Structure 1
């Protein structure tokens, strides 16, 4: 983590030295010396960072470097910028020189301390570890008896089935899941099973250390195989090269059945180092590095279900008696925190068993789980969580700890967190990729390492929101505080350290709480700031001198005006006023020249000042709200764009641009859209029919689009998009929504090979649209809503999700036998003329069917069919069938 902070300082100085060569003429040599020395420190800390947990002294050194980096990120760069405008003033020059000398002195002192550690720990420079081994607890799982493991039978049987079905060739089976789920325990039970011992000639269990060396790993494999075969190791094994050892393993295993467990492979380097040593048959890996070789044989170990969790917990917490009634409620609360994690349930249950059923001690433990993780009693859990954290590549550590800002009861929104990571400077630029694409890659890495879990997906199955295990969240809150990544206050009780750089305030704020007055704060995030004390605290914090603020998150705040202090934050990169009552953006928005994200979704703003065009770094401009009536979508409220919108060349998301009563010539504004060639998401409202030709001309330039929404001027207005667009115009377009009347489906839609979601609203199509779009190779979701289709009958062929809404003339929906084999979601809303669903019994993969606001006769017919036909009912194979009705201003839900 110190390396991350020093990297940030190093990178910022690099940019500043380039930008201000003339400014630094008087002391350029000193500045470059500092720059070079910080680069050396960065390299040293990359190794020290990874080993700090195993050595208390080294840990203190890393903390020292964190304090140094955090001070001088603002110290050196901040002082220089402070005097940039008045550099001609001789006094200012002397001040700058003085500050540079002071920083140089502090750096020399830091290097003296660093040299001390180089002398004490020379092995750090070699990239390996000679410090005392850190007990990680993974081996404990090998000592568990099967009777101690709850819920293991089903996954064990699946793995045994896969092993028994192996014919020839190298087969890789991967078991994945977050730390503490029992992966090692499960695999050990499989490895020791009698059938496995009988069916494989050779068996080896290899534990892959965190800082493995290829030669040592290969030696372990050879020794274990020979030990299993009761043969001595070959002479001179330690002196052999890696290639020679791979050849030995290959020849030894040639034409033999064998099973090798590699516990715990996380990095591709470990797998790549040994994979070619294995001929034929099977190997097994714990971790994601080998998943690409697994050919579908990847078992994702899930948390224990509620009943199994309770069984395991009660067995440990109350080994001789049942749970007393007065502890039932608090037991459920603690179980909820464990979230089905077997290791946590066993360790916490065993610990609570020592408290003699005293409710006050149970309650105290429940309140302080986070601090308990830092102590000795839950060391087994925190050690395993630490393994996952310290195994992360350095660029991911700060990103992961930053997730602690998300309140306990909120999901992690991928788009939001990615934009925050970018604004914080956590995302390292790479040629050929946008920052958002790199951030998405970071999120996928955390997902692949099972540190976060998917909670919601997009229509095409891509992750949209994530969940983090409650105990893991408690752990990273502690680590984030320790490494000064972020301070989190959810109860108004935390005393914020003077050095805090990022401050997240969640929920009720105590007015007597110490108000932060430090000058180093760079991020301020308010969550659920609904109490009356919120406003004064915001103003006091903003007035306290936090001039370096980069992130300001005020989502949902009870405010109708942006504080004037916000527009003095010249370093601000991220500003969110989502779901506030703000109704005006003042001209002073132009002062925020470094702003990259402006999130005004759900505000009362309908117009932006022309000064918005000064924000040349703006990448995300989100300003819209959805209207609903009786629970139904009614329309989108966008914003009126200033003239020359095309000057914002960095824009990637622009939602939603209102073309009605636009300032200047409306056609000119449509032409301006064509200049925004970096756009990936575009939303347009109030489009008139006569603007169609010019819009298609502009769209032809937007080859990076991933999502496009076009809304007509009013419901009865035609959208005219029947102008030729090249098949290569939208190679990446995944989502297309057209809201307005269409005489026919534009022909170019048939060439959108990447399209996964297509929605028509108000379109009043008379020809079956399926005839025109059935050739789209990746289409998964189709929405025909709000009179999107006026025909009597629809015949479906292939989709994953189907939504039909307010199709007043539709009477029959027919599904051909063998069609849409992958359809899993079907929703029919307010199609009151529908009499029959024909062939729905053929949809064997349906998981969810919803009927909302349908004719009462239709609903009663289906319910009667179920009552009479039982297991023969045509929807009996669907796990969840829901009937919704709008009654007295709210939805009444019935499940079948």
Structure 2
């Protein structure tokens, strides 16, 4: 290899050259190849293609390199590719099928056409080989994380935060170089996107994906690899891998179950199953009881209705359980056995009918994520759950959501301030005209002032009425680690005094203001990290406001909303 590089470098030394390198797999491969191309004064060029964003960035370093990311095909070119793939050419498509073809095209995502473009040039049989090369190039830890995605059905939108917590619960993630498990897992998620192994979905204000999807061809490969390695066993309408299991079932994803599949499971050894995922379409009454799943680390009932038909006896014996989710189910009450799951790290009760937690919940001192409340796709979020008295003893909590301040005791609100590692906080502040609310807001402010000096990064406070949030004006000392602040309320208030340019990490801001002044606009414009700004105004702007050309230097998405037409903002 070294001899070849030296010969090529000597050959090109005094020449003007154009080199095309197709599909570089890794940064190390580029580091080896690049030394073959001498730098000279003949305006030579190198064009390199890769599926890996990190490799592309590496190719651009140390020179005048430019990275070009291919865009998805337009509707017109998608149509041409579709007709060519199916009929040989656009002219060969029968008129009676064109309308149907156009309907198919409208329902296929652009990213599917990117992969289909390869199929025009490579036989379908060769696609598995190409995808296998990408898979085999992954390091072992990423292979494990990627294989895990086949627990989800085709076209499923996989939320980043849920996936990351599940990876951690499974024991796939270790702390690395001073990074927490959460940070390492999130890096793995973005690595899979950068390597084009999964497709980014719901890209946020900061350019980061909040979810991902697996292309159907990649999913087929992952399922075949999973069966080959006995990594995950599937039970669904279209297929079941239970009969193919060689040895114990390690992880079970139940996307559908009927009497036939239930009889197969009845004869399987389930005591070694590490994770059980039960999807919405499952007929829950046919599922084996939890007493047979004694080694579970991850248990998720996802959007399952009629969960009351399922026998929860034995849940108190799942001593290894790290992750438990009833999200989206019709569950009315938390099973009492959950209070004996002392190793539990995530408890997700969002969008259930559970409105109260037992007092014994505070015994789960290893809990890091305690998530409640209802968050519909349309309409206003709401939470009725009381903050448990004694929550201050749950020192490992990093995220809590859906708790109602006015329904909680003053003591519980005060104890929020003791959660020194808390990063994400979502609370409901409906006052309902209560005279007690004044005391609750004073206690909440005291807790926020304490949390702001610790690790608090994200705060969302919502209200279904016109509850005033102006008490936050006295927030001091400043929450210097805060990255996101959102208020969802019908109440409008002056510009908060604590929002100042000294908050160097604040990137997302969503406010309701009575009006914005020249001074307020100047302060917002000087926020050094602000990427997203949303402001709702109540009144017509009286004075002309000027936005300087150097203001809002980082703003990527300005979603400023005017409830009344203003027209008095001028850019200079």
Range class of TM-score, shorter chain? 0.7 to 0.9
Query: Hey, what does 2:306 align to over in structure 1?
Result: 559
Whole-Å Cα distance in 2 between the matches of residues 693 and 331 of structure 1?
56
Please point out which of 455, 461, 478 is paired with 1:710: 461
Query: Hey, what does 2:432 align to over in structure 1?
Result: none
Q: Is 1:655 the counterpart of 2:404 in the alignment?
A: no
Structure 1: runs of 5 or more not aligned: 1-215, 230-251, 351-377, 799-815, 844-896
Whole-Å Cα distance in 2 between the matches of residues 345 and 274 of structure 1?
28
Q: The residue matched to 1:400 in structure 2 has which SS?
A: helix
Residues 290-316 of structure 1 deviation map (CA, whole Å, 9 limit, x = unaligned): 414526711223454454344345445
Please point out which of 348, 366, 387 is paired with 2:133: 387
Q: Is the 8 A contact 2:155 2:213 kept in 1?
A: no
Tell which deviates more after alignment, 290-299 or 477-486.
Answer: 290-299
Whole-Å Cα distance in 1 between the matches of residues 414 and 205 of structure 2?
31
* 1:796 to 1:418, Cα distance in 2 relative to 1, 3 A: farther
Please point out which of 415, 418, 441 is paired with 1:672: 415
Q: Is the 8 A contact 2:533 2:560 kept in 1?
A: no
Give 1:548 shift.
0.6
Whole-Å Cα distance in 2 between the matches of residues 468 and 705 of structure 1?
33
Residues 496-548 of structure 1 deviation map (CA, whole Å, 9 limit, x = unaligned): 13532112222x5333224423222111112222x6xx22123x2534x1211
Query: Hey, what does 1:511 align to over in structure 2?
Result: 259
Whole-Å Cα distance in 2 between the matches of residues 765 and 458 of structure 1?
27
Query: Hey, what does 2:210 align to over in structure 1?
Result: 464
Count of aligned residue pairs for this structure pair: 536
- Runs (4+) off by over 6 Å: 325-328, 330-335, 794-798, 816-823
- Higher share in helix: 1
Give 1:464 shift.
0.9
Query: Hey, what does 1:502 align to over in structure 2?
Result: 251
* 1:584 to 1:767, Cα distance in 2 relative to 1, 3 A: farther
Residues 315-344 of structure 1 deviation map (CA, whole Å, 9 limit, x = unaligned): 455449824578775998699595342455
Q: Is 1:453 the counterpart of 2:199 in the alignment?
A: yes
Give 1:736 shift.
4.2
* 1:494 to 1:325, Cα distance in 2 relative to 1, 3 A: farther
Q: Is 1:283 the counterpart of 2:71 in the alignment?
A: no
> Structure 2 matches for 1:876-891, cutoff 5 A?
none
* 1:391 to 1:793, Cα distance in 2 relative to 1, 3 A: farther
Residues 22-69 of structure 1 deviation map (CA, whole Å, 9 limit, x = unaligned): xxxxxxxxxxxxxxxxxxxxxxxxxxxxxxxxxxxxxxxxxxxxxxxx
Q: Is 1:527 the counterpart of 2:279 in the alignment?
A: yes
The two structures have a TM-score, normalised by structure 2, of 0.82
> Structure 2 matches for 1:349-428, cutoff 5 A?
378-428=124-174
Give 1:594 shift.
1.5
Give 1:389 shift.
0.2
> Structure 2 matches for 1:841-860, cutoff 5 A?
none
Residues 144-201 of structure 1 deviation map (CA, whole Å, 9 limit, x = unaligned): xxxxxxxxxxxxxxxxxxxxxxxxxxxxxxxxxxxxxxxxxxxxxxxxxxxxxxxxxx
Q: The residue matched to 2:428 in structure 1 has which SS?
A: strand
Query: Hey, what does 1:130 align to over in structure 2?
Result: none
Please point out which of 15, 20, 27 is paired with 1:268: 27
Q: Is 1:592 the counterpart of 2:345 in the alignment?
A: no
Whole-Å Cα distance in 1 between the matches of residues 529 and 151 of structure 2?
36
Q: The residue matched to 2:473 in structure 1 has which SS?
A: coil
Whole-Å Cα distance in 2 between the matches of residues 650 and 347 of structure 1?
53
Give 1:818 shift.
9.2
* 1:661 to 1:306, Cα distance in 2 relative to 1, 3 A: closer
Q: Is the 8 A contact 2:413 2:447 kept in 1?
A: yes
The two structures have a TM-score, normalised by structure 1, of 0.54
Give 1:789 shift.
4.1
Please point out which of 485, 498, 509 is paired with 1:735: 485
* 1:416 to 1:838, Cα distance in 2 relative to 1, 3 A: same
Q: Is the 8 A contact 1:521 1:546 kept in 2?
A: yes
Whole-Å Cα distance in 2 between the matches of residues 326 and 839 of structure 1?
54
Give 1:453 shift.
2.3
Q: Is 1:770 the counterpart of 2:513 in the alignment?
A: no
Query: Hey, what does 2:449 align to over in structure 1?
Result: 697
* 1:440 to 1:446, Cα distance in 2 relative to 1, 3 A: same
Whole-Å Cα distance in 2 between the matches of residues 333 and 473 of structure 1?
21
Q: The residue matched to 1:580 in structure 2 has which SS?
A: coil
Structure 2: runs of 5 or more not aligned: 430-436
Query: Hey, what does 1:606 align to over in structure 2?
Result: 355
Whole-Å Cα distance in 1 between the matches of residues 427 and 496 of structure 2?
19
Whole-Å Cα distance in 1 between the matches of residues 177 and 392 of structure 2?
25
Tell which deviates more after alignment, 388-397 or 483-492.
Answer: 483-492
Q: Is the 8 A contact 1:515 1:541 kept in 2?
A: no
Residues 687-713 of structure 1 deviation map (CA, whole Å, 9 limit, x = unaligned): 6443355234322332x2221123479
Q: Is 1:222 the counterpart of 2:33 in the alignment?
A: no
Q: Is the 8 A contact 2:543 2:568 kept in 1?
A: no
* 1:491 to 1:650, Cα distance in 2 relative to 1, 3 A: same
> Structure 2 matches for 1:560-579, cutoff 5 A?
561=308, 563-579=312-328
Q: Is the 8 A contact 2:253 2:277 kept in 1?
A: yes
Q: The residue matched to 1:299 in structure 2 has which SS?
A: coil
Q: Is 1:616 the counterpart of 2:365 in the alignment?
A: yes
Q: Is the 8 A contact 2:373 2:383 kept in 1?
A: yes
Q: Is the 8 A contact 1:522 1:548 kept in 2?
A: yes
Whole-Å Cα distance in 2 between the matches of residues 472 and 304 of structure 1?
20
Whole-Å Cα distance in 2 between the matches of residues 326 and 512 of structure 1?
42
